[in-house]
Chain A
Amino acid sequence: MEKAIVFKNIKKSYGSVQAVNGINLTIYQGEFFGLLGPNGAGKSTLINMLAGIVKSTSGTIKAMGFDVEKNYQEARHSLGIVPQELVFDPFFNVREMLRFQAGYFGKGRENYDWIDEILERLDLTEKAFTNMRQLSGGMKRRALIAQALAHRPPIIVLDEPTAGVDVELRQRLWAFMKDLNQSGHTIVLTTHYLEEAENLCKRIAMVNRGKLVALDDTKKLIRKNSAKNLNIKIDNLDEQKILKILKSFKVFIKNEILSISLENLEELNDIIVLLKKNKIKFFDIQTTEPDLEKVFLQMTKK
């Protein structure tokens, strides 16, 4: 497969703080790729370096084979980046902004049909002549996404595009992104909604403290790190005591439910034996299929 984005030993430091510490990552053309990590992990720094907004301290980044610093014009032609912050230009309406954005990339009237299609797909047609200032937060987010797509880039990078937006937009956006992905566009997504990443992304990278901590096919990543989840409701839950008893297992406590990632089903029996031996009473027990959230917590826990 042809490479869309290549991060080669990328480092970025701000004074003594190492925001990105030697990341090597290749994203292939046509992929729907997820870049996950907790706040401050280095995801946005990576994207900003790819976009040329932030310069790397060392290493190289290529987009569609072009170095983002040495051949920045060609590299930026291939990138459509949706920034995380909800920024807008208050002087113009939605359609003007999209036409300007495409114009910066040398696109003129021949691109107007595409702009109308974007407006339609993101449900912005009725707002085409509305000033950016007058749009609601959700509409501004749509306009921001539309701007990134205006020049029809082969790579689309969405930095938390669904933060604070309603369900309808999410569904519309993902349907649109799936269509673009099927027509050959490479999509890179960062999100805090792990369910979205699990459903959409074929491959996922997890970043923590500036380092790549996981990179695999989404399904493999989930299976590899957990066979099943065991959820137990315990009477008078004493967190410290339970964590001590089950110290050899991957245990998380959320909403007073003990959640344990099982590496194999034999562990189930061991846990029950241990709880009984320590006279811990439980009143509900169930196993569920593993999900990305558990893997994420495992991979990014301190």
Chain B
Amino acid sequence: MINWKIQLKGTWTLLKKELLRFWRVVFQTVAAPVITGILYLLIFSHVLDGRTEVYAGVSYSAFLIPGLIMMSLLQNAFANSSSSLVQSKVMGNIVFILLTPITYIQFFIAFLIAAIVRGLFVGLTIYLLASFYIDLPIMYPGYVFSFAILGGALLGTFGIIAGIWADRFDQMAAYQNFVIMPLSFLSGVFYSIHSLPPFWQKISHFNPFFYMIDGFRYGFFGQSDTSPHLSFLIVLTFFIILTGLSIKLLKTGYKLRG
């Protein structure tokens, strides 16, 4: 049995490599999504601020910011683990990890934490920049923090699964464009689901992104479309299911080991 210090060093090295990987292309991995988020904020708040009030006493711009933060956080957590994996597979350098004693658990932890860190970094940067635009106090920091971490973890795990499955960059783009993008846009980032017709309200309840964004927003305003505890439970359930699947794929070496 390899001692825990060696295992810890191995995990830390893989995590460090993953963090440095996205930091080396920080304009692409952090600056670009931050700019996109801020542009959404400026345009939507310019058009809709003062015309609509989603929650009582909360301006549309204030309502929008937590949604944009969470959407960017989730998209970037997914992008980090999935793009790193698919890139390593296509370029063949995944072999450098496969040849080592790194276990599937260590692999999972390192990729997961790196995904969460990138998501948080993007989300925090948007929050700080948005603070110059509008005063946005956080009512319940514990909720904000919990949903940010759990949401990043869920999408990071989903990214690991997608990265293992995809063999080509276009397959990964399909995931981004046909799964992640629609689910995040239709999750209540820009609106409250109560403004939707009853049928679409019901449909929205099947979208896990809705619970992540709604729970995260509760932390800012103490108001939400559904109970934050129910949201947390649902997101946690999704995370546990995807973690199980991800670990199973890594353990069996699906599409990684011949």
Stretch at the interface among A104-112, A226-234, A291-299: A104-112
CB neighbours (8 Å) of B25 from chain A are 91
The reply to whether B101 and A53 contact each other, CB–CB distance below 8 Å, is no
Asked whether A90 is an interface residue with its Cβ less than 8 Å from the other chain, the reply is yes
Stretch at the interface among B14-22, B48-56, B168-176: B14-22
CB neighbours (8 Å) of B237 from chain A are none
Residue among B92, B95, B100 with most chain A CB within 10 A:
B100
For window 87-140 of A, CB contacts with B under 8 Å fall at 87-92, 96-97, 100-101, 103-108
> Which residue from B91, B93, B99 sits with its C-beta under 8 Å from A79?
B99
Asked whether B253 is an interface residue with its Cβ less than 8 Å from the other chain, the reply is yes
Docked complex Cα distance between A203 and B13 (Å): 38
| A10 CB to nearest chain B CB (Å) | 14
Contact with B along A53-88 (1 / 0, CB 8 A): 111000000000000000011101101010101011
The reply to whether A87 and B99 contact each other, CB–CB distance below 8 Å, is no
The reply to whether A81 and B99 contact each other, CB–CB distance below 8 Å, is yes
CB neighbours (8 Å) of B102 from chain A are 104
Docked complex Cα distance between A55 and B13 (Å): 26
Docked complex Cα distance between A92 and B20 (Å): 9
The reply to whether B10 and A104 contact each other, CB–CB distance below 8 Å, is yes
The reply to whether B253 and A106 contact each other, CB–CB distance below 8 Å, is no
Residue among A88, A92, A106 with most chain B CB within 10 A:
A106
Asked whether B2 is an interface residue with its Cβ less than 8 Å from the other chain, the reply is yes
The reply to whether B96 and A53 contact each other, CB–CB distance below 8 Å, is no
Asked whether B9 is an interface residue with its Cβ less than 8 Å from the other chain, the reply is yes
Query: Closest residue to A148 on the B side, CB-wise?
Result: B99
Q: A73-B2, A85-B92, A88-B93 are in contact. Are A52 and B98 (CB under 8 A)?
A: yes
The reply to whether B258 and A55 contact each other, CB–CB distance below 8 Å, is yes
The reply to whether B95 and A104 contact each other, CB–CB distance below 8 Å, is no
The reply to whether A87 and B101 contact each other, CB–CB distance below 8 Å, is no
| B113 CB to nearest chain A CB (Å) | 16
The reply to whether B9 and A103 contact each other, CB–CB distance below 8 Å, is yes
The reply to whether A105 and B100 contact each other, CB–CB distance below 8 Å, is yes
Q: Interface residues of B: mostly helix, strand, loop or mixed? A: helix
Q: A48-B258, A100-B17 are in contact. Are A53 and B6 (CB under 8 A)?
A: no
Asked whether B103 is an interface residue with its Cβ less than 8 Å from the other chain, the reply is yes
Asked whether A149 is an interface residue with its Cβ less than 8 Å from the other chain, the reply is no
Docked complex Cα distance between A72 and B10 (Å): 15
Asked whether A259 is an interface residue with its Cβ less than 8 Å from the other chain, the reply is no
For window 34-92 of B, CB contacts with A under 8 Å fall at 88, 91-92
CB neighbours (8 Å) of B16 from chain A are 100, 103
Asked whether A147 is an interface residue with its Cβ less than 8 Å from the other chain, the reply is yes
The reply to whether A104 and B93 contact each other, CB–CB distance below 8 Å, is no
The reply to whether B13 and A103 contact each other, CB–CB distance below 8 Å, is yes
Q: A73-B103, A77-B101, A81-B99 are in contact. Are A105 and B6 (CB under 8 A)?
A: yes
Docked complex Cα distance between A103 and B13 (Å): 5
The reply to whether A76 and B100 contact each other, CB–CB distance below 8 Å, is yes
CB neighbours (8 Å) of A55 from chain B are 253, 257-258
The reply to whether A53 and B20 contact each other, CB–CB distance below 8 Å, is no
Q: A52-B99, A87-B92, A89-B96 are in contact. Are A104 and B14 (CB under 8 A)?
A: yes
Asked whether A51 is an interface residue with its Cβ less than 8 Å from the other chain, the reply is yes
Asked whether B12 is an interface residue with its Cβ less than 8 Å from the other chain, the reply is yes
CB neighbours (8 Å) of A83 from chain B are 92, 95, 99
The reply to whether A107 and B96 contact each other, CB–CB distance below 8 Å, is no
> Which residue from A51, A90, A106 sits with its C-beta under 8 Å from B7?
A106
Docked complex Cα distance between A79 and B12 (Å): 21
Docked complex Cα distance between A97 and B13 (Å): 11
The reply to whether B98 and A91 contact each other, CB–CB distance below 8 Å, is no
Docked complex Cα distance between A190 and B5 (Å): 35
Asked whether B234 is an interface residue with its Cβ less than 8 Å from the other chain, the reply is no
Q: A55-B253, A77-B2 are in contact. Are A104 and B101 (CB under 8 A)?
A: yes
Residue among B1, B17, B20 with most chain A CB within 10 A:
B17
Docked complex Cα distance between A108 and B99 (Å): 18
Query: Closest residue to B7 on the A side, CB-wise?
Result: A106
CB neighbours (8 Å) of B92 from chain A are 83, 85, 87
Docked complex Cα distance between A51 and B99 (Å): 6
CB neighbours (8 Å) of B99 from chain A are 51-53, 76, 79, 81, 83
| B47 CB to nearest chain A CB (Å) | 40
Chain B contact residues, CB within 8 Å of chain A: 1-2, 5-7, 9-10, 12-14, 16-17, 20-21, 24-25, 88, 91-93, 95-103, 253, 257-258
10 residue pairs from A and B, CB less than 8 Å apart: A51-B99, A52-B98, A53-B258, A74-B2, A76-B101, A97-B96, A101-B96, A103-B12, A105-B6, A105-B101
Chain A contact residues, CB within 8 Å of chain B: 48, 51-55, 72-74, 76-77, 79, 81, 83, 85, 87-92, 96-97, 100-101, 103-108, 147
Q: List 5 A-B pairs, minimum CB-CB distance, nearest first.
A: A103-B13, A106-B6, A87-B92, A73-B101, A104-B100
